[in-house]
Amino acid sequence: MAAIAFPSGRRLAALCLVLSVGGCSGAWPEETRNGCRTFTLKAGADLVRGPEDLVWDPVSRHLFVSADPRGRDGRPGVYSVAIDTLRTATGTDLPLTPAADVRQPHGIGLDVARRELAVVDHRGADGQGGATIHRFTVGADGSLTEAGAYGRVRNANDVVPDGSGGVYVTQDHAAETGLGTAWELVTGAKRAAIHRLPAPDAGGEATVARDGLYFANGITRDGDRLYVSEMRAERILVFDGALSGTLSPAGEIPLPGQPDNLNLDEEGGRLLAAVLPEPFVLFLALKHLHGDGRVASAAVGIAPPSGQPATVFGDPAGETVSAATAVEAADGLLVLGSVVAPTLAVCPLPPVSR
């Protein structure tokens, strides 16, 4: 999700009108949520609101959660939870362990082989050249240790390791003001980009690997192939050349809504995408800031050879999780989070549809 502050009053109404341009293409996924459990996230006595992104680490067997309440009640930061806790939790609360003190976390990306977690942090981004992209080393117990920063990217959204110690970062828009952002969305200006940042100790300069995108959001990599959510265009862009940094278009995957975060289901060999049913700022503003309304949630999986999206989670009424913005596969579980809620949904991982 984009780092957009929640406005109020006339500003809210105007912004909602502006950002309501656009709509969903294709049929919305049908209800598919059997066996799901919903938990309220807690770190001690503190509520953890807004699980922005999720990453599964098969080595430490922990799920990492990036959470930002965005000015509402709740404790921001990067958290972890052991898979055994996730699998056997009962009751209504799920205890999380604070792993990193990041005050405005956004996307996160894990390099399993190098044992490094990259974290987008919007704290202090204004006037300082953009969001900081932190690097943490990952311990065998799921602990995180600060290990420098890759650099800064203005309007950074999500991050994924590039396979050589650096990272790719999506920049969802180019404008530096709210008015400029609204102009980009209304006019359909394609000013989003993908940046490549080298490892902190490797030297070299940050580069723009691809630009001219329409609101670049989630990003993930599978070997030499890079997948990027072009959210407002309701599709996933596919690029080859991720290992070399010379990205070349390799196709696109149309979706029945607006894709947010992406992850790989390594065991199932498929791409997972959280899909939103309507312009995201509009539903955040109208259905969450002005009441307890719930928004439909869905996630799709894309696997070869068909390459067609198949529903892995569908919740048309938003009863299990409202407005899911993140999805991850973790040791046979499907986990979903929403930036608007202090909850995680934990479901059986559906079989691969090819």
pLDDT at 62 over 70: yes
What was the pLDDT predicted at 200? 84
Mean pLDDT of 231-238: 93
Question: Long-range CB contacts (< 8 A, 24+ apart) of 136-142?
Answer: 136/78, 136/100, 138/57, 138/59, 138/60, 138/110, 139/60, 140/59, 140/60, 141/60, 141/62, 142/57, 142/60, 142/61, 142/62, 142/64, 142/80, 142/82, 142/97, 142/99
Q: What was the pLDDT predicted at 17?
A: 30
**pLDDT level of residue 28 (50, 70, 90 thresholds):** low
| Two tokens, residue 133 | 């992209």
* The predicted structure's pLDDT at residue 12: 28
Q: How much is the average pLDDT of 261-265?
A: 97
Q: Is the pTM of this model over 0.75?
A: yes
For 7-27, write each residue's pLDDT tens digit.
333 232 233 333 333 444 456
- Provide φ and ψ at 179, rounded to 5°: -65, -40
83's tokens: 């898979």
Mean pLDDT along residues 168-188: 77
pLDDT in tens, 328-343: 999 999 999 998 889 9
pLDDT at 46 over 90: yes
Go through the domains of the chain in sequence order and give each one's CATH number: 22-348 (2.120.10.30)
Q: What is the pLDDT of residue 229?
A: 97
Three-class DSSP category at 22: coil
Distance CA 142, CA 57 (A): 8
